């Protein structure tokens, strides 16, 4: 990578934190991430888009960059993108698009409904929150053990960057 990436890596190692608003370092990381995306897209089969500002993970010291992809080769392109990000201290994570997130939430709801006598009904469309980089899904729950079902629903969603919010 370039000298700029070495400087960014040195800043990360020294413990400098850039949380919150977009910073010059985050701008540099986004520029570098865009270059990596362009290189990976040359293989074809996946159109990759970045979303939101890069966020510094305080625990790992890596920059988190959300992306989505459309095309038949997106699984392979995503893996290549993640590998390309390692030297630059960038961890790319795939953000599902609106159609993909609807499928995911329906699968999660179906798995939770099998374990609990709680009817879960979604309210409105899932909404992507750029600030938190989470999909927000509002829902109602009625029946027995809905508190337990809600806990499981929310725990499963956390792993996929989906925040389920129960409306009471």
77 and 106 fall within a common domain: no
Chain centroid, CA 131 distance in Å? 12
Residue 150 above 90 pLDDT? yes
73 and 44 fall within a common domain: yes
Residue 1 above 50 pLDDT? no
At 19-30, the pLDDT tens digits run 344 567 999 999
Range of the domain at 87: 3-94
* CATH number of the domain where residue 129 is located: 3.30.300
Residue ending a domain, among 43, 68, 94, is 94
Among candidate residues 104, 157, 161, the one with its CA nearest the CA of residue 128: 161
62 and 128 fall within a common domain: no
75 and 108 fall within a common domain: no
Q: 41 pLDDT band (50/70/90 cuts)? A: very high
What's the number of domains the chain is made of?
2
Instruction: Determine whether 93 is exposed, middle or buried from the number of CB atoms within 10 Å of its CB (0-12, 13-18, 19+).
Output: middle
Question: For residue 22, what pLDDT is reported?
Answer: 52
As a whole number, the mean pLDDT across the chain is: 84
47 and 59 fall within a common domain: yes
85 and 144 fall within a common domain: no
Whether the Cβ atoms of residue 95 and residue 121 lie closer than 8 Å to each other: no
Residue ending a domain, among 61, 94, 127, is 94
Residues with Cβ within 8 Å of residue 91, at least 6 apart in sequence = 57, 60, 62, 63, 64, 65, 82, 85
Distances, alpha carbon 15 to alpha carbons 10, 18, 29, 32, in Å: 9, 10, 16, 20
139 and 81 fall within a common domain: no
Question: What mean pLDDT comes out for the span 50-75?
Answer: 90
Question: For residue 9, what pLDDT is reported?
Answer: 33
70 and 102 fall within a common domain: no
121 and 87 fall within a common domain: no
39 and 90 fall within a common domain: yes
Token reading at 23: 């910073």
14 and 53 fall within a common domain: yes
Residue ending a domain, among 75, 94, 113, is 94
Question: What mean pLDDT comes out for the span 37-44?
Answer: 94
Question: For residue 133, what pLDDT is reported?
Answer: 77
At 79-111, the pLDDT tens digits run 999 999 999 999 998 888 888 899 999 999 999
């Amino acid at each position: 990578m370039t000298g700029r990436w070495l400087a960014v890596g040195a800043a990360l190692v020294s413990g400098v934190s850039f949380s919150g608003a977009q910073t010059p370092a985050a701008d540099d990381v986004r520029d570098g991430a865009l270059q990596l995306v362009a290189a990976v897209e040359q293989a074809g089969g996946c159109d990759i888009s970045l979303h939101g500002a890069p966020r510094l993970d305080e625990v790992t010291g890596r920059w988190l960059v959300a992306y989505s992809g459309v095309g038949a080769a997106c699984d392979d392109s995503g893996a290549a993108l993640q590998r390309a990000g390692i030297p630059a201290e960038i961890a790319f994570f795939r953000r599902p698009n609106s159609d993909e997130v609807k499928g995911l939430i329906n699968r999660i709801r179906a798995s939770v409904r099998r374990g609990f006598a709680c009817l879960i009904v979604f309210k409105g469309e899932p909404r992507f929150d750029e600030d938190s980089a989470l999909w927000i899904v509002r829902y109602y729950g009625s029946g027995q053990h809905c508190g337990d079902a809600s806990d499981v629903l929310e725990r499963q969603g956390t792993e996929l960057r989906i925040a389920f919010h129960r409306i009471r």
